[in-house]
Amino acid sequence: MTPLRPDPSNLVGSVARTLYDIAQGFDSPLDPEPRLRRALRLLRLVVPYDRCALFEAPATGPARLVVEPDAPEERESLSRVLRRFMTVLTDETKRGGDRRPPNVALFAHFASPAHLAVPVVGLDRVLGVLFARYGGDDAYTDDHLRCLSVVASQIAAYLTACRLREQEAQIVSEHEAARAVAEAENRAKDEFLAMLAHELRNPLMAIRIAVQTIRGEAASDPAVQRETDVVERQVKQLARLLDDLLDVSRVTRGKIELRKETVTLQAIVAEALATTRGFIDARRHEVSVSLPEDPLWFEADPTRITQVLGNLLDNAAKYTPPGGEISVTGYGERDEVVLRVRDTGIGIVPEMLPRVFDLFAQADRPLAGSEGSLGVGLTLARALVELHGGKTIVQSEGPGRGSEFIVRLPVGVPVGSRGRDDRRPVVVQARHILLVEDDDSVRAALHRILALDGHRVEVARDGPGGVELALATVPEVAFIDIGLAGIDGYEVGRRIRAALGSRVLLVAVTAYGEEQDRRRSSEAGFDAHLVKPVSYEDLTRLLGRVGPSDA
């Protein structure tokens, strides 16, 4: 083999072009071995050799050996020799003081007419060894050693770039893995909350309907009315707690979509007071309301802002000893609507004020004279206000001095009103109703209260039975649970809708209340989606949507 030699007539230009070509070849940290092999081939133009090798020993992972021309029979012996060279060169570099590019004089004793070896130094450590062997008549000189050192520096810079890219890829991979784990944990949490809600809503539904049945049957007995009021109020509290827990989860995942419309502050306050009146009255609180005489219009999701005010009123009632005072004040201030809820309750210690809206932080508040709380309602209230572009603050002069919560909401741009649900009592004719429900308690309670109002009620305890009964009897209204045995409620609704068309009002009555659950029921052909525990007023309101009975 005849080694290639530099052109002696233009040695500087030849070396410069070779070094430039080597640098240009290191164009990507991906798939480095072909690029390293190309660099070794180009090196031969300025440092003649019979055999050239690059030995790289990373801190972790297997070593790399690139031999040019490749000689499989020599790879093992070259690897052993270069590893020993690397050990010696590493020691010499350490004794050389700082970690600047190596002084060629330090390694001159590795130069001989037969071979050269220089360290590949990067990131303040020896990355490997660049070795050249030449068996020709011309001996290696200091210039050859210097050229080899320059190319070793180029290779070191390239290997450093490759390692940095590998580290970056590893960091990205670890980040993606951590995010996947976090998302899986969030999904597991959401699935647990959804299942918890499902398991609790069914018994709450049975209790609520049973209480309303008892109330109807004992309308003239004040004692029974008082006791059923207590049970009804506690069922509502449990249902609200479930809703708040699920809503907090939705907010943290960005899953709540606001349905804004033009509303009045007066309507929001009236609705929130109606929702919490039972609990406030049970604790014998006096409530004062101060609102403008003229309607104060603003843009908001009425359901969510009513929920915000309801949670603040609930918090005030809970943390105010019986017989306290709660005031609700609302007014417009420039381009904002302001709501203030003040109580004469137990107050808040100064160190608690910055944390009062944190999830579960309420458990740290003084509990004397109160019923305690999970702290979910305030967390949700602040989150819903922030979704509207507003802010919520809390003020308290300390323990025993009460507290005040202030909500500021932007007036926004008025949009078309969708109208609020008419909450007046609905009187309906007797209907032919199909009830498909697999929970025995819920099914029995619903059947009894509907039958007491004169409705003809058919019942089925599973999906296939519900479809069969619907096709055989053609009901006017079908109340269908979603989590049914056999086939689920979505499929029951699809089959009934396909067979009976618009002749039947399909209503999902289910413990599943997520947005995707409502969307799926709508896609399956349901006209309405009620989340357990529903009240009898909700059922009768839907029955009022049915046209005149043919019966």
Out of 50-64, 269-283, 299-313, least confident range: 50-64
Single-letter amino acid, residue 54 = L
> How far is residue 442's CA from residue 213's CA, in Å, rounded to a whole number?
12
Residues 495 and 354 in one domain: no
Helices marked H in 256-295 — which ranges? 265-282
Instruction: Give the CATH number, domain containing residue 487.
Output: 3.40.50.2300
Residue 203 in domain:
no
Tokens of 23: 């640098």
12 and 54 housed in the same domain: yes
Same domain, 28 and 154: yes
Instruction: Provide the 3-class DSSP secondary structure of residue 213.
Output: helix
Is there a contact between 162 and 154 (Cβ–Cβ < 8 Å)?
A: no
- Residues 3 and 134 sit within 8 Å (Cβ to Cβ): yes
Query: Do 36 and 134 reside in the same domain of the chain?
Result: yes
pLDDT tens string 398-437: 999 999 999 999 987 655 444 444 445 556 788 999 999 9
373 and 300 within one domain = yes
Q: Judge if 335 and 484 occupy the same domain.
A: no
- Please report, to the nearest 10 degrees, the dihedral formed by the alpha carbons of residues 356, 359, 360, 363 taken in order: 0
Q: To 10 degrees, what angle do helices 515-523 and 489-500 make?
A: 30
What pLDDT does residue 200 have?
72
- Report d(CA 544, CA 477) in Å as an integer: 11
Residue 214 lies in a domain: no
Does residue 167 sit in the same domain as residue 114? Answer: yes
Q: Which residue, 148, 172, 196, sits at the end of a domain?
A: 172
CATH classification of the domain holding 306: 3.30.565.10
Q: Is residue 421 assigned to a domain?
A: no
> What's the pLDDT band for 514 if we cut at 50, 70, 90?
confident
Band of the pLDDT at 547, cuts 50, 70, 90?
low
- Supply the mean pLDDT for the chain: 81
Note the pLDDT of residue 137.
61
Q: Could you tell me if residue 447 is inside a domain?
A: yes
**Domain carrying residue 528:** 432-543
Nearest of 535, 511, 513, 514 to residue 423 by alpha carbon: 535
pLDDT grade for 336, boundaries at 50, 70 and 90: very high
Residues 443 and 398 in one domain: no
Structure tokens at 183: 């998302």
CA distances from 380 to 95, 204, 240, 249, 307 (A): 64, 23, 12, 9, 9
Q: Is residue 526 part of a domain?
A: yes
Region 292-304: mean pLDDT is 90
Q: What angle do CA 284, 286, 289 make, to 5 degrees?
A: 145
Q: What is the pLDDT of residue 10?
A: 57
- In the chain, % of residues over pLDDT 90: 34
pTM metric for this prediction:
0.48
What is the per-residue pLDDT across 431-468, written as a single tens digit (0 to 9) for each?
999 999 988 888 888 888 888 888 999 999 999 999 99
Q: With pLDDT > 70 as the criterion, what percentage of the chain qualifies?
A: 79
| Residues 12 and 146 placed together within one structural domain of the fold | yes
Total domains in the fold of the chain:
3
In a domain, 105, yes or no: yes
The pair of three-digit structure tokens given for residue 457, joined into one six-digit string: 């009620």
Residues 438, 391 share a domain: no
Q: Is 376 within a domain?
A: yes
Express each pLDDT in 212-270 by its tens digit: 777 676 666 777 776 677 677 667 667 766 777 677 666 766 667 788 888 999 999 99
C-alpha span between 449 and 9 (Å, rounded): 109
Q: Domain for residue 548, yes or no?
A: no
Answer yes or no: are the C-beta atoms of 268 and 302 closer than 8 Å. Answer: yes
| Chosen domain end from 410, 440, 475 | 410
CA-nearest of 450, 457, 449, 468 to 432 is 457
Residues 17 and 99 in one domain: yes
- Whole-angstrom CA distances from 258 to 9, 49, 304 are 80, 74, 8
Name the residue with tokens 């944990």: 185
**Domain edge (last residue) among 156, 172, 188:** 172
The residue ranking higher by pLDDT, 365 or 404, is: 404
Distance of CA 231 to the CA centre of its chain: 36
The CATH number of whichever domain residue 124 belongs to comes to 3.30.450.40
Determine the Cα–Cα distance for residues 526 and 480; give it in Å rounded to an integer. 9
Q: For the chain, how far is it from start to end, CA to CA, in angstroms?
A: 108
| Domain shared by 12 and 135, yes or no | yes
